[in-house]
A = this chain, B = another copy of it.
Amino acid sequence: MYRLVKLKEEKVFKDPIHGYIHINDQLIWDLINTPEFQRLRRIRQLGMTYFTFHGAEHSRFNHSLGVYELMRRVLSHFRRNYALELQDDEVALGLCAALLHDVGHAPFSHSMEHALHMKHEIWSRKIIESSNGISTILNAFKPGFAKEVSSVIANEHPNKLIESLISSQLDVDRMDYLLRDAYYTGVNYGNFDLERVLRIMRPHPKLESIKNDPNTPKVVLKFSGWHAVEDFIVSRYQMFWQIYFHPVTRSAEVLLGKIFKRAQDLARSNYTFSFMLEPLDDLIMNNVITVEQYLRMDESFMQTVFYQWMDEKDVVLSDLCRRLINRDLFKYQVLPADEKESKRICIEMEQLLRQKGFDPEYYMETDYPKDTAYHVYEVNGPLIKTPIAAIDNQDHLIEISNLSVIVKSLGEKKSVGATNLYVPELKNNEVYER
């Protein structure tokens, strides 16, 4: 009924990760050309990571195209090789949700979201449902389609196959970002055999009968290929510990949090900023802004604000901003596992900072990075994520942690890593060395 209009000639984007991004549908082309999507060119994919790995300057625009391309390939693969029947609007649902899943990211993504209690998923949904460009185009394709796409991102759509391709433990989002982030940072930890993983993925052979069972994966793996997915999971684990949790990056994020905190505290005490750009004032004061306002903020916007704030009369704010702009970051030290000892060190450090004229509220932070690379499915426990499973010749599913001792060990991992204490470099202070 709802037909995807093909472009006269296929358009391509040259992409370092996937070779080419292929665009065949007018709908996708139009979405890419909206101001809302073009804004993603001004949001970095990895926030502050470029302070640690200078190559990591790539944008969410990059990644969003990549996720779209992988979705396109998976759906095409499922249709060609497994006779999966998909209507045009189901294909469109997958492609659009993949393309737009990150459209609501704030500048410096997680840091700013955390500081200002914004969730990018919520903003993605708002933008998809009510922005001038995107929602209009989606609803022109099919009435109510914007809402549908948005519900996929919220995991509330009935099509769980499409949903799980976008957001699960083996989704096209993760596949793209591991490869892409590895490429731009220049490390090779994120590399896994994408082509093989795509080859061994297939829709569950009894898709219809299990479609409402949240614990049964909609996409399963050819048995003989499970090692490729084990490798994917290890890649993700490695990227978290080597890149995403890097203490120098966290240090920059700590600084960002402190800047927002100081700005909010000043705003609440009726401080008059000598430089301000709308809607940051509303955001800081009231935390209530519209979609149009939200979209005005990108990383150029924030960076300009921080730059101008280096001239603010408030010395804390101007100093913190100077540190961020010039990469004069806090240094860190690892706190001991012993809680009492750890507390003692923190208290001493607070005193030392005060002696040196630093207010610990703005110049000290502890940080404990953690993630579980793969959440193992627990039969009787609370559901976290649909498990990854291989399927044997008799159509039995075997959960991957039952095949791989590595995945099992990562799934069991409850708390690894250490707490870091961040403070400005002081005389005799321990200095981080890469």
- Chain B positions within 8 Å of A199 at CB level: 12, 20
Cβ of A234 under 8 Å from chain B: yes
Contact with B along A391-420 (1 / 0, CB 8 A): 000000000000001101110110010000
Return the chain B residue nearest A430 by Cβ: B393
Asked if B54 contacts A62 (CB within 8 A), the reply is yes
Asked if A193 contacts B189 (CB within 8 A), the reply is yes
Cβ of A78 under 8 Å from chain B: no
Cβ of A241 under 8 Å from chain B: yes
User: For the complex, what is the distance from the CA of A303 to the CA of B405, rounded to whole Å?
Assistant: 40
Return the chain B residue nearest A413 by Cβ: B405
Cβ of A19 under 8 Å from chain B: yes
User: For the complex, what is the distance from the CA of A409 to the CA of B14, rounded to whole Å?
Assistant: 29
Partner of A20, one of B16, B38, B195, B307: B195
Cβ of A130 under 8 Å from chain B: no
Cβ of A117 under 8 Å from chain B: no
Quick one: given A50-B41, A57-B62, are A188 and B184 in contact (CB under 8 Å)? no
- Chain B positions within 8 Å of A224 at CB level: 434
Partner of A14, one of B185, B234, B241, B416: B185
User: For the complex, what is the distance from the CA of A41 to the CA of B410, rounded to whole Å?
Assistant: 36
- Chain B positions within 8 Å of A277 at CB level: 304, 308
Q: Name the residue among A61, A234, A299 with the largest chain B CB count within 10 angstroms.
A: A234
- Chain B positions within 8 Å of A50 at CB level: 41
Asked if A227 contacts B231 (CB within 8 A), the reply is no
Asked if A186 contacts B300 (CB within 8 A), the reply is no
Instruction: Output the least CB separation between A332 and chain B (Å).
Output: 12
Cβ of A15 under 8 Å from chain B: yes
Instruction: Output the least CB separation between A21 and chain B (Å).
Output: 9
Return the chain B residue nearest A431 by Cβ: B8
Asked if A55 contacts B16 (CB within 8 A), the reply is yes
Quick one: given A55-B16, A55-B62, A234-B234, are A35 and B405 in contact (CB under 8 Å)? no
Asked if B307 contacts A35 (CB within 8 A), the reply is no
Cβ of A428 under 8 Å from chain B: no
Chain A residues 1-57 with CB under 8 Å of chain B are 9-17, 19-20, 33-35, 38, 41-42, 50, 53-55, 57
Partner of A409, one of B33, B299, B328, B405: B405
Partner of A193, one of B187, B193, B304: B187
Cβ of A162 under 8 Å from chain B: no
User: For the complex, what is the distance from the CA of A188 to the CA of B178, rounded to whole Å?
Assistant: 15
Partner of A410, one of B303, B328, B406: B406
- Chain B positions within 8 Å of A408 at CB level: 409
Cβ of A326 under 8 Å from chain B: yes
Return the chain B residue nearest A64 by Cβ: B54
Cβ of A270 under 8 Å from chain B: no
Chain A residues 179-201 with CB under 8 Å of chain B are 183-189, 191-193, 195, 199
Q: Could you name 26 residue pairs across A and B whose Cβ atoms are closer than 8 Å?
A: A10-B81, A11-B434, A13-B54, A14-B187, A15-B54, A16-B184, A19-B186, A20-B195, A41-B57, A42-B303, A54-B59, A54-B61, A54-B65, A57-B62, A188-B192, A188-B193, A189-B227, A224-B434, A231-B234, A234-B406, A277-B308, A296-B307, A298-B307, A299-B300, A300-B300, A300-B307
Apart from A16-B183, A35-B326, A406-B410, what are 14 other A-B pairs with CB-CB below 8 Å? A10-B81, A16-B55, A19-B186, A33-B326, A38-B326, A42-B303, A55-B62, A184-B184, A231-B234, A277-B304, A298-B307, A301-B307, A304-B304, A409-B409
Where the two chains meet, the residues of A that have a C-beta atom closer than 8 Å to any C-beta of B are 9-17, 19-20, 33-35, 38, 41-42, 50, 53-55, 57-59, 61-62, 65, 81, 183-189, 191-193, 195, 199, 224, 227, 230-231, 234, 237-238, 241-242, 277, 296, 298-301, 303-304, 307-308, 325-328, 405-406, 408-410, 412-413, 416, 433-434
